[in-house]
Amino acid sequence: MGLTNDTKVFVEREKYLEIIGFTSYAYITGKITKYSGMAGGRTRTLGEFIENFIYGKIAEEAFKLFLINKFGLQTLTEVDIADFYRGVYLPDVVAIKKGNDFIPLKFWIDVKEVRRDQKWMLIPASSVRTRPYDAYVAVWVGLPDEHIIWIVKNVPGVKEKMSKDWLKKVNEVARNIEVIPCKILGFVTWRDASAVEKMKNIELNKKGGCYFDGKTPLFDPENPFQKRGRVGENIGFALKILEQNSDWNELVSLIKINKKIIPEIPMPKTKSGRLSKKSGLPDNFITFSDYREAFQAFFEEQLNEIRKKFGKINRSESWFAQPL
């Protein structure tokens, strides 16, 4: 079922730095919301924003490397695009190479980063209902917790002040950032996630899927009597089972077909029939009946503008060189 070959990939330090550049640009320019429920509704600091954002971007990069290394499938993520594009509902894998060009992906993938000893891939049940993706991919990211210390060391004058203990620790971190180990754990399609959401399964199904109602605590999939904290209403997939049952050839085939598999999603509108501000779309998209189709059009429209401006959609310079 799963790949017989190793699903490990290594994200290089240069891409890690570009992700920091992209994330800092998005924060400084206000391109991405700085508010977070985890921060009690307050504005997150740049440090918090980078820490919460960077893992997800490394996971996307790792999945991109997996596709090219194992299947020869060349794709682009948000960090690879020549300019910033907007949207609250967008794919993590932006485009796929066709011939000598890249075309927008219509089969949308949500890449879920996994850290440390997590045993579940969690998908908010509300997103499966109202803002679903065609597939969800779990990627373990082996970024050391202390990764920021390596950046601090490179501030002029700081290294000279560091004790031997500090330098030893920084060197350990530096080795782990030179190439960041990641593992592509598994995937489910929207159909898999939706089936659990509709049936409200509270026991593991054959895909490792389980419904958490927001009141029932997480449990260890290998030892159900061992509780592991509580989450909101989520669709969970046990990572060990997911890893054993993921047929990557199936997912690659769906990516190549490049068609959405989710059903029509109604456009979010106010009682007066206007486009809801929460939709994240310009007012002229009110003519669409399918929310996902509207965002696909908005997404492709922006990519076309980038292509006109730069002659291509893929980036050729550092995000740190991006004008503010």
Paired tokens of 61: 């990069």
Paired tokens of 305: 């503008």
- Which pLDDT score is estimated for 284? 93
H/E element, 187? strand 179-189
Q: What are the phi and psi torsion angles at 227 (to 5°)? A: -85, 150
What is the rounded average pLDDT for all residues in the chain?
A: 89
Cα separation, 174 vs 180, whole angstroms? 10
- Which pLDDT score is estimated for 1? 38
- Which pLDDT score is estimated for 291? 96
- Which pLDDT score is estimated for 2? 40
Tens digits of per-residue pLDDT, 261-317? 999 999 999 989 899 988 999 999 999 999 999 999 999 999 999 999 999 999 999
- CB–CB of 290/265 below 8 Å? yes
Cα separation, 269 vs 212, whole angstroms? 29
Q: What are the phi and psi torsion angles at 11 (to 5°)? A: -90, 125
Cα separation, 296 vs 310, whole angstroms? 21
- Which pLDDT score is estimated for 278? 86
**End-to-end alpha-carbon separation of the chain, Å?**
47
Cα separation, 90 vs 188, whole angstroms? 18
User: Any idea which residue has 């730095």 for tokens?
Assistant: 17
Q: What are the phi and psi torsion angles at 173 (to 5°)? A: -65, -40
Paired tokens of 144: 């050391």
- Which pLDDT score is estimated for 44? 63
Cα of 35 vs its chain's centroid, Å:
18
Tens digits of per-residue pLDDT, 144-163? 888 888 888 888 888 889 89
Q: What stretches in the chain show pLDDT beneath 50?
A: 1-4, 34-40
Burial class (CB in 10 A: 0-12, 13-18, 19+), 253: exposed
CA distances from 191 to 111, 134, 194 (A): 16, 8, 5
Cα separation, 267 vs 94, whole angstroms? 22
Cα separation, 79 vs 17, whole angstroms? 11
- CB–CB of 245/206 below 8 Å? yes
The DSSP 8-state label assigned to residue 113 in this structure reads E
Nearest Cα residue to 137 out of 87, 93, 97:
93
Coil, helix or strand for 306? helix
Cα separation, 324 vs 318, whole angstroms? 13
Q: What is the pTM of this model?
A: 0.91
- Which pLDDT score is estimated for 36? 44
List the alpha helices (DSSP H) in 72-139: 125-130
